[in-house]
């Protein structure tokens, strides 16, 4: 049977892709591969081939990809963003990108550029996708969603007080490339980010050239602005691949708590899947941090749920909510989401042996005030309308290492979460 290039790509990537493991049986928690001891350069040669193949496959249906002499143009694009460091005197976050710099780029070339910048660093760690399918493959390619608090550059350098993280690990010129490498490695269709303080000078121009459409909503009083030589406010960003989705509706939401406006935000977008014509809603948020604010977070979650009720027309549209909720699963805001009339479930529970437990951590760091290991980040989804086909396993304690995160190998104190979703076949079923 004829398969369109897009279908073929998806089949390669989502069915038999190397690194995809079956869900562990009861009582048998799957383990990620141990960290490679080889120096970065050696391992790059190996992983470049695999990644280039999968990168080419995943993006191959995008006609805009340039395969020609893109490296020099790309180099200048990356160099341009490298030069726009936090030391910039100009508020670049207020400046729209120059459309002249937005010609398409090949993800393989960007990956190579990133790897060249990172050649002195230890290799990225291997993380595997765990196959969670319980039914036959759907007729359309899955939707890959990535959730990640990428650590605002200004907060990492000026506020977070990481005690064991080497100063070199926080250099933006290199940390930026580690972030891009992570995104390019997993090639999400939709990317939900928190703590973005380099949207206009880095992520928007580069990701738009990879075919993404982006939206940024800064926090009204970003703590980044308190840091000397900051790069503007941090906020939430949502990117989606334009060749897969059409934007139907977009809302920037300033969250309230008991009717008071707060400093936390969300973006909620309704999209239409170009292959299937199915519509769904995707949201990204970053709730108030710190202990003592549990009721506040719960009120913010309540406000977000009310907004999402209205945007999904009373749960008629399938919904995915990504966020750094700054709340353990024991907190009220988590319980509100788990028991909401939107019929949501948390995707990463499916990685546990019983399918009922959240991962042991999604963030792990050592501050001057002590070690913090918490589960705070989630991907919620409409449990009747959507299925989780696979999820990216977390880094193991050994991979994270004794100095925890961020590190020379990993750019943020939060791990990225990545899931592949498919629509359930019953369009009129309960959401």
Ligand X SMILES: NC(=O)C1=CN([C@@H]2O[C@H](COP(=O)(O)OP(=O)(O)OC[C@H]3O[C@@H](n4cnc5c(N)ncnc54)[C@H](OP(=O)(O)O)[C@@H]3O)[C@@H](O)[C@H]2O)C=CC1
Query: Which residue stretch of 140-148, 159-167, 168-176, 341-349 sits at the interface with ligand X (rule: CB under 6 A)?
Result: 159-167
Tokens 């141990």 locate to 34
Closest alpha carbon to 120 in 158, 79, 166, 84: 166
Distance of alpha carbon 200 from alpha carbon 232, whole angstroms: 10
Query: Which residue stretch of 30-38, 157-165, 174-182, 345-353 sits at the interface with ligand X (rule: CB under 6 A)?
Result: 157-165
226 binds ligand X (CB under 6 A): yes
Tokens 């030069």 locate to 83
Q: At what angle do helices 70-83 and 172-186 cross, to 10 degrees?
A: 130
Specify the residue, 270 or 285, whose C-beta has the smaller distance to ligand X.
285
Residues in region 28-47 near ligand X by CB under 6 A? none
Minimum CB separation from ligand X for residue 194, in Å?
Answer: 7
Q: Count CA within 13 A, CB hemisphere, residue 361.
A: 16
Distance of alpha carbon 337 from alpha carbon 2, whole angstroms: 43
In the list 324, 331, 358, 420, the residue contacting ligand X (rule: CB under 6 A) is 324
In the list 65, 155, 206, 282, the residue contacting ligand X (rule: CB under 6 A) is 155
159 binds ligand X (CB under 6 A): yes
Residues in region 236-275 near ligand X by CB under 6 A? 263
x/- mask, ligand X, residues 276-295, rule CB under 6 A, reads: ------------xxx-----
Closest alpha carbon to 349 in 394, 415, 302, 285: 394
Closest alpha carbon to 295 in 338, 324, 327, 339: 327
328 binds ligand X (CB under 6 A): no
In the list 221, 261, 341, 360, the residue contacting ligand X (rule: CB under 6 A) is 221
Minimum CB separation from ligand X for residue 146, in Å?
Answer: 17
3-state secondary structure 85-117: CCCCCCCHHHCCCCHHHCCCCCHHHHHHHHHHH
197 binds ligand X (CB under 6 A): no
Note whether 317 and 343 are within 8 A (CB): no
228 binds ligand X (CB under 6 A): no
Minimum CB separation from ligand X for residue 288, in Å?
Answer: 5
Which residues sit at the interface with ligand X, rule CB under 6 A?
A: 149, 155, 159-161, 195, 219, 221, 223, 226, 263, 288-290, 324, 326
């Amino acid at each position: 049977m004829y398969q369109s290039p897009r279908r073929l790509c998806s089949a390669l990537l989502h069915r038999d892709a190397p690194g995809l493991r079956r869900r562990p049986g009861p009582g048998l928690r799957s383990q990620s591969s141990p960290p490679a001891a080889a120096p970065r350069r050696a391992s790059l040669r190996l992983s470049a081939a695999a990644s280039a193949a999968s990168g080419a496959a995943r993006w191959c249906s995008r006609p805009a990809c340039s395969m020609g002499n893109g490296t020099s143009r790309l180099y200048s694009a990356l160099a341009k963003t490298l030069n726009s460091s936090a030391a910039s005197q100009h508020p670049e976050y207020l400046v729209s990108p120059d459309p002249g710099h937005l010609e398409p780029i090949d993800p393989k070339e960007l990956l190579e550029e990133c790897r060249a910048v990172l050649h002195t660093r230890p290799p990225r760690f291997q993380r595997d996708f765990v196959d969670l399918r319980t039914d036959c493959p759907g007729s359309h390619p899955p939707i890959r969603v990535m959730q990640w608090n990428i650590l605002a550059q200004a907060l990492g350098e000026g506020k977070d007080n990481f005690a064991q993280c080497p100063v070199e690990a926080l250099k933006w010129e290199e940390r930026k490339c580690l972030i891009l490498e992570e995104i390019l490695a997993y090639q999400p269709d939709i990317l939900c980010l928190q703590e973005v303080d380099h949207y206009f000078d880095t992520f928007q121009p580069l990701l738009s050239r990879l075919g993404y459409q982006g939206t940024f909503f800064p926090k009204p009083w970003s703590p980044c602005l308190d840091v000397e030589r900051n790069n503007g406010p941090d906020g939430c960003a949502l990117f989606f691949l334009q060749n897969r989705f059409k934007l139907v509706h977009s809302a920037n939401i300033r969250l309230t708590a008991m009717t008071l406006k707060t400093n936390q935000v969300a973006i909620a977008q309704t999209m239409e899947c170009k292959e299937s014509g199915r519509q769904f809603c995707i949201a990204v948020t970053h709730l108030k941090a710190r202990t003592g604010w549990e009721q506040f977070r719960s009120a913010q979650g309540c406000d977000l749920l009310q907004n999402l009720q209205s945007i999904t027309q009373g749960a008629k549209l399938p919904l995915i909510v990504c966020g750094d909720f700054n709340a353990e699963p024991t907190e009220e805001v988590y319980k509100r989401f788990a028991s909401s009339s939107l019929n949501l479930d948390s995707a990463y529970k499916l990685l546990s042996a019983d399918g009922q437990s959240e991962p042991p951590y999604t963030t792990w760091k050592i501050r001057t005030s002590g070690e913090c290991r918490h589960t705070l980040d989630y991907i919620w989804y409409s449990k009747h309308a959507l299925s989780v086909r696979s999820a990216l396993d977390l880094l193991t304690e050994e991979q994270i290492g004794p100095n925890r995160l961020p590190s020379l190998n990993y750019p943020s104190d939060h791990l990225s979460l990545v899931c592949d979703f498919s629509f359930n076949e019953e369009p009129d079923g309960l959401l």
